[in-house]
Amino acid sequence: MSAMRGTISAMSELPADDVLVAGLRAGEETVFALLLDAWSGGMLRLARAFVSTPDSAAEVVQDAWLAVIEGVEKFEGRSSLKTWVYRILVNTAKRRRDRESRSIPWSSLTPDEEGPALDPARFQGPGEPYPGHWRELPTPWPSPEQSTLAAESMAQIANAVGRLPERQRVVIVLRDVEGHTAEEVCSILGISAGNQRVLLHRARVFVRDELAQFYAAEGRVAP
């Protein structure tokens, strides 16, 4: 899934966090504009993983930035500024999601409750030569080393990500689309390292399998 990062434009390096925080606290518009340009796109993609429409996601991002400005005096530097901003975004998105519809609270779910990512029958059992391995290898898909993916592959990936359970969807967006580290994701979402690994694994397996099935149905392999 790291190949998805190739579709996101690399951004110029921002000043150090202490410089950015000082600028925000001083009300410097240039600093705020710099952060808007650098992070708003990723924040919008993450918000979209929680709420039902693009317009709602845009409002979440706007509300999150307002909360950042209002709360920057309380920023203590225990995490990076970006992690802190994304944590505010997630909390804002959760509140918006809960207003839009009744849903199961994030804290009440565990990865095990979301069920297996794939049918266990597709893997070899304990009494077979290679327990846990594929019975039949899935159709190949684009390797992470490729700089870009075909448009049709990206469309299938986006569709598969959109059908993931919320927790898996949010984790894979943060890790494989936005490029956050595992530690950053745990901090942003308030989950354990083990949960982050399980959620990411389930999401990646599901997306990979969906793409493999798409190409198999087309009678060809991925480019």
Q: What is the pLDDT of residue 23?
A: 96
Q: Name the more confident of 3 and 19.
A: 19
Percent of the chain whose predicted confidence (pLDDT) is above 70: 70
Across 61-65, 89-93, 113-117, least confident range: 113-117
116 is a domain residue: yes
For residues 203 and 172, the answer to whether their CB atoms sit within 8 Å is yes
The domain boundary, picked from 100, 133, 150, lies at 100
What's the confidence (pLDDT) of residue 157?
84
CATH number for position 51: 1.10.1740.10
Tell whether 132 and 211 lie within a shared domain.
Answer: yes
Look over the chain and give the mean of its residue pLDDT values, rounded to a whole number.
80
Task: Determine, yes or no, domain membership for 35.
Answer: yes
Q: Closest Cα to residue 113, out of 121, 104, 103?
A: 104
**112 and 19 in a common domain:** no
Say what the pLDDT of residue 12 is: 53
Whether 223 is covered by a domain: the verdict is no
Residues 166 and 89 in one domain: no
Any idea which residue has 């994701």 for tokens?
185
| Same-domain check for residues 9 and 79 | yes
In a domain, 222, yes or no: no
Residue 99 — pLDDT band, cuts 50, 70, 90? confident
Final residue before a domain boundary, out of 100, 128, 149: 100
Higher per-residue pLDDT: 149 or 217: 217
Q: Are residues 82 and 113 in the same domain?
A: no
The residue-averaged pLDDT of 39-59 equals 93
CB atoms within 10 A of CB 52: 12
128 and 33 in a common domain: no
Answer yes or no: do 23 and 81 share one domain: yes
Out of 100, 127, 155, pick the residue that ends a domain: 100
**24 and 73 both lie in a single domain:** yes
Question: What are the DSSP calls for the chain, one per residue?
Answer: -GGGGGGSPPPPPPPPHHHHHHHHHTT-HHHHHHHHHHHHHHHHHHHHTTSSSHHHHHHHHHHHHHHHHHHGGG--SSS-HHHHHHHHHHHHHHHHHHHHS----GGG--GGGG--SS-GGGB--TTSSSTTSBSSPPPP---TTSS---HHHHHHHHHHHHTS-HHHHHHHIIIIIS---HHHHHHHHT--HHHHHHHHHHHHHHHHHHHHHHHHHTTS---
pLDDT by residue (tens digit) across 101-112?
Answer: 654 455 444 444
Residues 33 and 111 in one domain: no
- The reported pTM is 0.69
What pLDDT, on the 0 to 100 scale, is given for residue 148?
Answer: 44
Which residue carries 């297996």 as its tokens?
Answer: 116
Give the model confidence (pLDDT) of 139-191 as tens digits.
444 545 444 446 677 788 888 999 999 999 999 999 998 999 999 999 999 99
Q: How many domains are contained in the chain?
A: 2
Q: How far apart are CA 213 and CA 203, in angstroms?
A: 15
Residue 117, token pair as written in the block? 């990512």
Q: How confident is the model at residue 9 (pLDDT cuts 50, 70, 90)?
A: very low
- Where does the pLDDT of residue 211 fall: very low under 50, low under 70, confident under 90, or very high at 90 and above? confident
C-beta separation of 17 from 80 below 8 A? yes
10 pLDDT exceeds 50?
A: no
Whether residues 76 and 163 share a domain: the answer is no
Write phi, then psi, for 164 (nearest 5 degrees).
-75, 155
Are 32 and 56 in a shared domain? Answer: yes
For the segment 33-60, the average pLDDT, to the nearest whole number, is 93
**Is 93 inside a domain boundary?**
yes
Q: Residue 50 belongs to what domain range?
A: 2-100
As a whole number, mean pLDDT of residues 3-15 equals 51
